[in-house]
Structure 1
């Protein structure tokens, strides 16, 4: 890195001599050090990543001093070290325009962080995002008083729905025309694939934020392009290498979004899809399952493949007559056939500790799986644990069906027909899974707030029941 002498003549080269020599051997410049990913620099130079990070920080600080850039936060003033009171005082929030929902979210959607809204189709993720696009344009304390940017990976921005919210929401109707949110303050971009996403987020989005003073960045949804790209490439590549490449892309996206959120003090909100979790047929039941009471039934918890792999397989747990034998099964069956019979209680393989099971760990970062007796299907947010580590806040939207009785028409003989159960409506809840400014909710729906999707957006449900005619037939 010989050009460092020209860029920073007074830089202390001596203490970094061993690192600079490696850069010179691989013909890397100061620009490469500042712009390339740390992992890529380490791969090229075979240097420890921590040492490369220290060199990059030293060069960056020297450039700031040389250019007269001051006022940066010290190490003790970083957001990670701030107390809750300091966080609330220094952070602006985008309101949901509903007092109960805002209380559940700790004031709304915070600026300076990445917030994810995860839920299945039809739960109202897109409706939530559209409402935030309008609310962010309001002056404080309900909004930021700044324009917004909407990035879509699936379809174009639903302007007709935004206009409907503008007309129907009571908070907007009482405002003077000059203070009302406008579609003119919403910039939108379509992201058809990962290559376009990388270019848009890295180059075009920062320019748009600076030029238009953007206060809210929305991505709907973050998982779509990754599912298309890596599910398609997995057919012709090894699964492990594909997942490693996807993890690298997720970390890169998280780094870019966090930098934008902190550098421009804007709120970054992404929608995420979820996947079903199915019980694995190799999964062992608990050692001491709850004893069903008369008139009740016990449902085994749903588990992911990762959870079932973390548990030991005990003899007799699998009925081989129901399974198609594989090479790995053949080895297990051969091992089991060589064991002495009969087996006593002490001969069973000891299961892995429950604390190491994925189903036990995921309750703190997915929003599902923390209720062992849930009567609804369990989900897992897409993109896995790697993406979860990139987030500061995750909001889970859950829904459960409400069934009624559909009366059949009278038959030809004039006798009244019976009734059959039919889907009547849906109930929806919002819960905070983790966040830097609000405590997470408890198991299942404990601490969650029920809401409904109406013509004016989202609102909390007060009291028992609500009118079905005010719901949107299509929420997402």
Structure 2
């Protein structure tokens, strides 16, 4: 908007010609000068300058919206992909939101891919069975995608549906799997799929996992910074979610934290002095850093402690922090408690993984 031409803003022709004659062509040219300097440069009265600046400002600035208008727009264009986990769906006000980035964080083997396979299946199912009846792009960076496991989840979740001849094959045929081995390949594959994404054929995009690409590039020595190669990818993923109004789900790994400066909010209160084992658990943190954490809209932490695995809603603009114990069955993830357990203080962002593998960095 700053580069919008003054000649197209509806100023009186005589005044517009004066701006043009002094080589003040865009809104940025006019608004970056003090009114006194602009008066001297244009050789016109200060009242006329102020009137012109007010007109240019109004034409340049985007229109304001009320909170009610934003809410109505969100209700009209928004939506959710149900996880078929009632407690989690209720906590997220419907499920995985359209038009936003949802991140799944947790150690290897905790259940993130199982969660993604179920989401892929749900997005591909016909609408009459509660699905989105669309294609799914599944970017599988660690070769963990399994068509056989996805069909097993489908047979366990929808036995009456998957008895229909050919439905399992049809569902699998709607899921497009790519396996890039670097950030550059990842970006190239997204660019190639842009048209398909924007034509509303795709109802879900999954990246499992984004951290693996960065780790491999670091090992190859092809990049110097963990953040810079992701900046373009992150921006593109957000634009896909917003313009296509589809859910984008990304899995992230955890890494060990060697010091006591674990990411911590002041409102979470002071952390208590804990034993070495507890301190070791609390030093697990999501990979990719703070910049990435701020970019995602929803963060679900997968962790294990006290003899159970948990899905924890750690970040959401509409949901309080809550954790749900779960198990992995033939039908996928099943919650053991639909009510959830309230989470507060430092536990909101803590990642515990008793007996699980941890990516060390």
TM-score for the superposition, normalised by structure 1:
0.53
Shift of 1:152: 1.4
2:293 matched to which residue of 1? 388
Q: Report the Cα offset of residue 82 of structure 1.
A: 3.2
Deviations 1:204-235 (A, max 9, x none): 1212224561010000001111122235439x
Alignment of 1:316-465 (within 5 A): 359-361=263-265, 373=274, 375=278, 377-378=281-282, 379-400=284-305, 402=307, 427-439=308-320, 441=321, 447-462=322-337
2:183 and 2:214 in contact (8 A); partners too: yes
Q: Residue 196 of structure 1: CA displacement?
A: 0.8
Separation in 1 of the partners of 2:78 and 2:230?
A: 26
Alignment of 1:34-49 (within 5 A): none
Partners of 1:363 and 1:163 in 2: how far apart? 44
Paired with 1:190 and 1:397, the residues of 2 have a C-alpha distance of 24
**Distance (whole Å) between structure 1 residues aligned to residue 113 and residue 263 of structure 2:** 28
| Compared CA separation, residues 273 and 363, structure 1 to 2 (3 A) | farther
Aligned to 2:96: 109
Structure 1: gaps spanning 5 or more residues: 21-53, 62-72, 281-302, 308-357, 403-426, 442-446, 464-473
Equivalent pairs, count? 292
Question: What CA distance in whole angstroms lies between the structure 1 residues aligned with 2:231 and 2:97?
Answer: 21
In the alignment, which of 237, 244, 257 is matched to residue 237 of structure 2?
257
Q: Distance in 1 between matches of 2:81 and 2:28?
A: 48
Distance in 2 (CA, whole Å) between partners of 1:176 and 1:143 is 17
Cα distance change of structure 1 residues 82 and 160 upon mapping to structure 2, 3 Å threshold = same
Asked whether the 8 Å contact 1:150–1:189 carries over to 2, the reply is: yes
User: For the pair shown, which has the larger CA radius of gyration, 1 or 2?
Assistant: 1
1:98 to 67, 70, 85: 85
Q: CA deviation at 1:377?
A: 1.1
2:195 corresponds to 1:192: no
Q: Distance in 2 between matches of 1:78 and 1:188?
A: 40
Question: Could you say which structure has the greater relative contact order, defined with CA pairs below 8 angstroms and 6 or more residues apart?
Answer: 2
Q: Distance in 2 between matches of 1:153 and 1:370?
A: 36
What RMSD, in angstroms, separates the aligned Cα atoms of the two structures?
4.0
- Separation in 2, partners of 1:359, 1:148: 34
Q: Which residue of 1 aligns with 2:48?
A: none
Whether the aligned pair in 1 keeps the contact of 2:310 and 2:323 (CA below 8 Å) is yes
How far the C-alpha of 1:436 sits from its partner, in A, is 2.3
Q: Secondary structure of the equivalent of 1:432?
A: strand
For residue 145 of structure 1, the aligned residue among 118, 121, 133 is 133
- Render the CA deviation track for 1:64-90: whole Å, top value 9, x for unaligned: xxxxxxxxx9652799x834x864564
Structure 2 distance, partners of 1:229, 1:362, is: 35
* Structure 1 residues 389 and 129, CA gap change in structure 2 (3 angstroms): same
CA distance in 2, matches of 1:363, 1:387: 21
- Asked if the contact 1:156/1:190 (under 8 Å) is kept, the reply is no
Distance 1:271 1:78 in 2: 32
Partner Cα separation in structure 2 for residue 219 and residue 182 of structure 1: 19
Match 2:143 to one of 143, 147, 155: 155
1:430–1:86 CA distance, 2 compared to 1 (3 A): farther
TM-score (normalizing by structure 2): 0.68
Q: How far has the Cα of 1:182 moved from its partner?
A: 0.8
Separation (CA, whole Å) in 2 of partners of 1:184 and 1:371: 52
Q: How far did 1:142 drift?
A: 4.4
1:269 is matched with: 249
